[in-house]
A and B are shown apart, each in its own frame.
Chain A
């Protein structure tokens, strides 16, 4: 019988109590029941414990717990029972019911209430009973789960009674599971144990798996049943694992989508490889950092809205930088994509160094607003709010861009320029203006990506570097000049990456993916969704 188990039950109880209705008897009643603890031998003590537990008072578990620890003493003078804390050679006595300090007592004037293993079992069962029978279903549930984790054999009789009395279905289920684990740990007949295994297998959680795998090496029917149950749970959990990886994949895919979609626009429309695209993302992240710092120092109450405020700021910062780059550098290089690539690489070096000079080379901390922190579980899948918001944000940005392209004048002109630049110019579209605006738009979207990435990645001058190659892969894989291609490309690569990870490891998975894309481009040099027509035959 371990005290650790007792503690788990006890703390489960304490944790469960706060919202619960306290169930109490009169102080005098409780005091007299406690006083009985100090009278007679072990048999009497056992009875006294049962009597105390029968009061159902919520202070009892704490008292019993201290009794188990040997911290209850009888004052020889009047036979009253106190909590005793050792102070030097003396004991500080406290009234167990009222908590009133009863002063220091020399060691000779008090006598410890002795406990043996039988008494400890009695205490455990009494505490278990108190918590399992508690009027609050949440407490009962936590107690049952604690029993299940500890597989405490001594809790069996109490559990039986609790199950019989239980009315709430899921608490009852937890208790049945707890009884099964306790049963399995006890010396019950094999047939009962096999039934118990079946009951645990029905839960199918990771805890159940961990518990059952302790029995797989047992001989006979129990071992067989355990092995079968473990196999069943594992195959079930494998499905959940696939679900979890799918979720990770979607999450990565949405990050890739955010990083790549701006690139898809500029690359698609202008055939320009913007190597500084990653730095636009970085600028967005630093804009977020700056906004948050300003808010932290000046208007701390707005902290939860800092990301929302950062969105337009990051968009405008990056868009402005993009337009500047387009006007100063790129427009002189149209028709020379390879030179553009080199020049924008130079721009990216300058931007990185500039940010390093301004903000320092170290990582900057961008905080999570409260509505983005934490996580919840969906079945066996853990979902963090950050990731969920980023996926939603990526989709929102994507849909907004689609709407812009399909529904606005700028989108119309942009599509015209993509398909045939000369013809678009001939019908009166000011292609240089469209170029500048599109470049600004693409960079601005990268800035938005920076806001999102500041939540999950290190905000450092090298932030953009890490995404640029992946983004290119997404754009090239999905097909240039087609946003839907980018969406499919990003999600495919994200999911494929995370699906490969459990088998190949993170790095090897990525290598495999890169090689796969290189081979894919051989097969379809224009990506998944290629633009058709003469325009693309450069």
Chain B
């Protein structure tokens, strides 16, 4: 029933996206496992993993878009939730290594043995159980986001101030996770994973399943986000984005709405991180880098914020560009990324999706100019 409700909440375009993602979840692993090497349709394991990574980035972008595009909260710290989910997953994977580590300690991960720790810290307890770890993937980013949002939205910290303190949050976490005595592997982070749910993590089959899981999770995230923004709640969110004070004056508890969408978004980011870690095989504090969070924002801006398809397109396009550039012309990449930031904000306020919409509309009705509704009244005041 819930599923049919969720499916009903999709518009035509949304159904296409979800359909595509499900097809991707089936076809790409099939192309990797079933189609023989050398065939045009063959997908190498490298490509598979790379695409899986893009999909988790797309989920992160979707979560950023949910708060920024629909509620006007520019988070410069969403990478923190992504990384927290990733660390929760990483801790589970570390516990699965067991005696196969360098020091062969059945309980303690290698870095703890190296630091001469005698027993597992309390916050590592339970991470040997998959259900507990997966629960933490959702709970840790969710609870931290809830507390942070509850404090901030209640005291009406908005606009650039909020952006700056989200950045401070992720920066503080970056510094904290760099510390060895925090118990998260310090500088090196968590790596050398062996198994996930009993399957070897490097095996092609496991990788294919992880890819499919990423695609399906992204589809689920898309459906949930779609359900949220197309509901009455979503309308209130847009109202908050465009005129926060006015929405409050009408009688909506603005902070409750913001807190809900903020926490939901953080949970989505956490899940994205959890799917990211087993595919890239490492999680370290650099994921908390404020620069990484800002990059996630630019994916959304490039794709088109305030649309649900935009962040997916943006995340994949920008990251594909990054992979390509850093392979071919590494020194040009930062120029390209920097220019992208400037050009998109100046000339493409609605991103690729907006550009496409303009082209389509112009062809349909050449005389009528599209209203550039990307501009936000609440910010313009």
Contact = CB atoms under 8 A, between A and B. Distances in A.
Interface string A330-353: 001101111111110111111111
Given A333-B346, A338-B160, A353-B335, A343 B341 contact: yes
Interface string B145-169: 0001001101111111101110111
A353 B331 contact: yes
B297 A522 contact: no
Given A335-B379, A345-B341, A346-B338, A522 B294 contact: no
A416 interface: no
B328 interface: no
Contacts, number: 135
Nearest to A361: B331
B332 to A, nearest CB: 8
Interface string A514-530: 11011101110100000
B338 A347 contact: yes
A341 B160 contact: yes
B26 interface: no
B250 to A, nearest CB: 18
Contacts of A510: 172, 175
Interface centre among B334, B344, B346 (most CB of A within 10 A): B334
B163 A339 contact: no
Contacts of B157: 521-522, 525
B341 A522 contact: no
Nearest to B155: A522
Contacts of B294: 342, 345
Contacts of A335: 379-381
B338 to A, nearest CB: 3
Contact of B349 (A339, A351, A522): A339
- Interface SS of chain B: helix, strand, loop or mixed? helix
Interface string A467-483: 00100110010000000
Interface residues of A, number: 45
Interface centre among B76, B164, B176, B380 (most CB of A within 10 A): B164
A511 interface: yes
A339 B335 CA distance: 19
Contacts of A18: none
Interface string A314-344: 0000000000000001001101111111110
B337 A346 contact: yes
Contact of B342 (A338, A343, A472, A525): A343
A239 interface: no
Interface string B338-381: 11111011100100000000000000000000000001100111
A167 interface: no
Interface of A: 271, 273, 329, 332-333, 335-343, 345-354, 356-357, 465, 469, 472-473, 476, 507-508, 510-511, 514-515, 517-519, 521-523, 525, 538
13 contacts: A329-B346, A335-B381, A337-B379, A338-B379, A340-B345, A343-B341, A348-B338, A352-B334, A353-B334, A469-B290, A472-B167, A473-B164, A521-B157
Interface of B: 68, 74, 76, 148, 151-152, 154-161, 163-165, 167-169, 171-172, 175-176, 178-179, 290-291, 294, 297-298, 301, 331, 334-335, 337-342, 344-346, 349, 375-376, 379-381
